Structures are given as C-alpha cells and as structure tokens.
Structure 1
Amino acid sequence: MVALISVLHKGPIHGWTSPVVQAGLLVGVVAAAGFVAWELRRAAPLLDVRLFRDRRLAVGSLALLTLFGVQAGIFVVLFPYFQAVLGWSGLRSTLALMPMAATMMLLLASGLAPRVAALAGARATMAAGILLGGAGLALMAVLVSVDGGYPAILPGMLAMGLGMGLTQTPATEAITSALPRERQGVASALNNVTREFGTALGVALLGAVLTAGYRHAIDPRLDTVPGDTADTAREGIANAIDAAGSAGGQATALVRAAQESFVDGWQQAMWAGVAVMAILFVYVLARGPSLTRVSSSDLPRPPRRSRRRP
C-alpha cells in the first residue's frame, strides 16, 4: 500500500518514468503478488482473495474505493480554494462543504437510495450515482474560476453529493450480500479498508495532479518576481501568498498569479477524477452486481492442511 500510494503521489510530479516512481511501482507489484500468494497458501487466511471471484464483492469494493478516493481528493482541492483563493477562514471553509454532505446524507438517512436500488436494481443505481459524481467533477472543472467564487462550484458539489449517496448503498450491499451471515465480519472489514485505502489513494493522486498543475502553470508567471520569492511561490499557493509581502510592487500580481495557477491545477485534478469515474462507470455497467445473498456452501474454500501423526 505504501509503495503504490507513493507511486501515485510522485508520478504526476516527477514523471511516470522516473526511477523513484518505477522502483515504487516494482516494490508495490511484487509485494501485492507476494501477499496474494501467501494468502492462497494459508488454511485460515487474513483475507481470502478467492472471495473476489464473486463480482458483487469485487465491484462493490472497487466502487467504494474509487468513490472515497475521489471524495478525499476533492477535499484536498476545496480547502485551499476556499482559504487561499476566496480568503475564507477554516470554519467557514468547513461549513461550505455542508451542502455536499447534506445531499449525500439525505439520500442515505431518508432511505431513498435503498428504495431506488430495490426498484431500479443495484447495477443501474450504482451506474447512475457514478455518472452523477463524474458530472459533478466536470461541472467544477468547467465552472471554477478565481472570480466565480462559491456559486460557480456549488452545482458540482451538489451533484457529487447526490452521486455518492446513490452509489454507497448498493455498493455496500453488494459486499455484504456476497458473504453469508457468519462471515459478515469480513464484509464489514472490507467496507472499512476500501474506504481507508481509497482515501489514501485519492489524496495522493489528485493532490499530486493539483501540485504538478499548479507548478506548471505558475512558472511562466514568475518572470518578473525576485528569485527567492519565486522559489517559495512554486511550493504552493499558501507559500506564494505568504511570500507576497517580500515581492514589493509585485505583491498583488504574485497573489493573482498564484490564485490563477491554483485554478489551473484544480481543473487538471478534477479532469483526472472524471477519467477515474468514467472507467468505474464502464466497469460497473459491464460487471455490475445482482444482489442475491449466498450461503457458506457457495464460497470458495481455502486449502486444508493434512495433520500428520508424530
């Protein structure tokens, strides 16, 4: 996990072919293969990877991992926008996220998402939620600007909240329905670990895309800024605003350049999220689950170890 997260974090910044990224990818792939091979040999595995042959479990886990990754990546982008571009306080920035959370919780708490899944089917509901979430990301990428402020991104936030709320219920149900009652502890653990792992991946990937986009966009705008101040400004928008005090007559221009560069990075991060959601949408349409609970007799069995007499 550490190696793969490092690859996603460093790839957009250092380049996907850089030695450090390639080394991390090699370590991650070898470690993942080793984990799978080890678990397949155990009589009582920590995680029986054979369970992922059930497409309900596989699709539900992948959907939750992707959704929470994109959501966490959005938070990485939104907070600096609220504070460094709009000039809001931390509390006001947090409150500005409430509409997205409220729309998501409304679908979950009201029972509307489960009813939609029961009527339309898990596959259609998950696909609709993913489509809404991707549309929300696209809206934020297209409408965001330095001068547009909060109204420009609110529609995208609301669409993202609706998409998250619609998708979570059938994705969670897909995981729990794939395992019998006596193995619901495994289902609960998978629900948790996919959320946590997805969050780490999303922060690494979208955060790195944002950083790389910001640095690429601000470089041409620093030609008239003193060298030390320009180096500080390249580190991030918060650093650029702090360094503006030492830029003399270029202070206002430096702050504006940092804000515009951040918006450029924002758009790249959102389009990266749209691409991820589009891949998930196609996968769910092709492999989406039908929710039918199974018994323990339907599950793959780990290998039994023979007991030898001394």
Structure 2
Amino acid sequence: MTVPELEIHLDESDLARSLRDDVRAGLTAPAKWLPPKWFYDARGSELFEEITRLPEYYPTRAERAVLTAYATEIADVTVAKTLVELGSGSSDKTRLLLDALSRHGSLGTFVPLDVSAAALRDAVAALTAEYPNLSVRGIVGDFTRHLRVLPGGATRLVAFLGGTIGNLLPAERREFLTALRAVLEPGEWLLLGSDLVKDERILLPAYDDAAGVTAEFNRNVLRVVNRELGASFDPEAFDHVAVWNPADEWIEMRLRAREAMRVPIAGLDLVVEFDEGEEVRTEISAKFRREGLARELESAGFALRRWWTDPDGLFGVSLSQAV
C-alpha cells in the first residue's frame, strides 16, 4: 500500500510565526486572550480525546448519534463525489459519512484538511488502508486561510463537525462562511455540526468536569507557550474557569491568575504582568438556535435544506446548499 503524500500549505515556520503573533497580540491586549487552536499539541490532543469520553461532555456522543441516524440520508440528498473535512483530526466520526457515501456509490475522493501534519499523515494512512477504492488527498492547512486550495471538479460535500464553528467569534463566523461559499459552486453542500443553546446546568459541567481533565486541557496552552516561546508560566498558578455568557449565548473558558505575577516570554522579548484574579480568555464555544444559524448561513449564501438533532435535542447537524 502506498500512502499518498500530503499537500503542504502550512509548515512549521508558518505555525511558529502564527503562534508568536497570537501570543504577542493576545497577552498585550487590555483583556488578555489566547486562541484555542494552541491547545492542540500532542498532549492537548490526547486530553481532548479524553474529554470526549467524559460523562459530562455530551457534544461528541450527540453528534455521533445524529450522523449514525442520518448518514444514509445525507448521502442520498447530496450524491457527493468528493467529501471534504475541515479540521479533520483523526476523521473518526467522518467514517460514518464515508461508509454511507461509499454504499451509495457516488464517492470517489476524500479530502481531509488539518493544521497538524503528523495527525493528518496518520489519518491518511489509516483511511487509505480502510478504503482502498477511495482517493484520499490530505491537505495541511488552516481552514480560516486555505479554503481556496480545496480541489474542485466534482460535487463536493464539506463537513465541518464537532461544533468547531462555535469557537469563532460572530465576525469570524461571517468571514469563514462567506469565504467557504466563495470557493463552492452553486448546488454544493455544507454539513455543519453546531452545539445548541440549553440549560447551563448541562452546559457548564461539559467544560468543567469533575475529574479536572478540561482544566488540564485549558492549562496546556501555557505549556505550549512555555515550550515554543521560552516562557516561564507556572500552569498551576492559574485556575481553570468556565462561565456561561447568556447575552452572547456562549461558554467562555478562562485561566485566572491566583496571584500577581510577571511572566517573561524569552522568544518574544516580552514580560507579561498579571494582577491577582486577572483572566486570560482561551476559548469561546458559542451555542446556537436553528433560526439564528439559518440566518447566518443565508447571509453567507447558503440555504438550509435539512436539520437534525440527537434524540435529546442537545446538538444540531445542518445540511445547507450553496445558492
């Protein structure tokens, strides 16, 4: 078996420059922030996989339930010849779509796109072995920057799963959806996973589990900055905080300094000062309502064609068409 070479549009120097720019901008802002994409080094990815198996963390199970129930319908409606997955990781849940589209007989190509070359290489090798009749074309890139490199020429279904759309601020969502619509032909498809607004008694434990795995995941961003930029953060000097913002209808994850401190970041020639109790926002996770998401999709040039939820109504999966 010959594993296809990856198409590289984002290399280590790009990632290093992006990390430097993000850390400098975020930690010198009046309200400090760091982007959630920097959680995901090898250790962060392991922690997130552990999170998805926690009893409190419902999104992965709920989305899988939707895909299990409706993958065949998705294949029948889209008749997709090419499946594209943005932020693919291990492409675990996507196998439900691959199986359904393969049974349908339309699918010829799978294009996973991810920022991690190592994770993508492993996934492409596994998928090439599992689906020998499928052309697998792995692209190392950032879904906010590299949509224009997606291959065309066949009816495409773009899958953006896991509720990752909720990690984008509203303006970023508009920009992303508009850019995605610009690279699709009329009639092509977007399959979008979106977590739904619900009681915060369900929401908050999903981001602040009893075992403390999410807290370790949150602090991991400081370990990444330490390793990559020569910073001297003590991750244990920060408390993990998860709060529900009812006005914006999103969860915010933050790191709160337990005491005043000065943190040198050698790679940036920067010293960052923290007051006791000062917070760094590390993630938002927006929750959606069907009608609001439909408006956002319509504004970007998509028409909502199908809407499904799990039996408990916790998570939504929408199928929209470029118009």
Which of structures 1 and 2 has the larger relative contact order (alpha carbons within 8 angstroms, sep 6+)?
1
Bigger radius of gyration, 1 or 2?
1
Length-normalised TM-score, structure 2: 0.24
Larger helix fraction of residues: 1
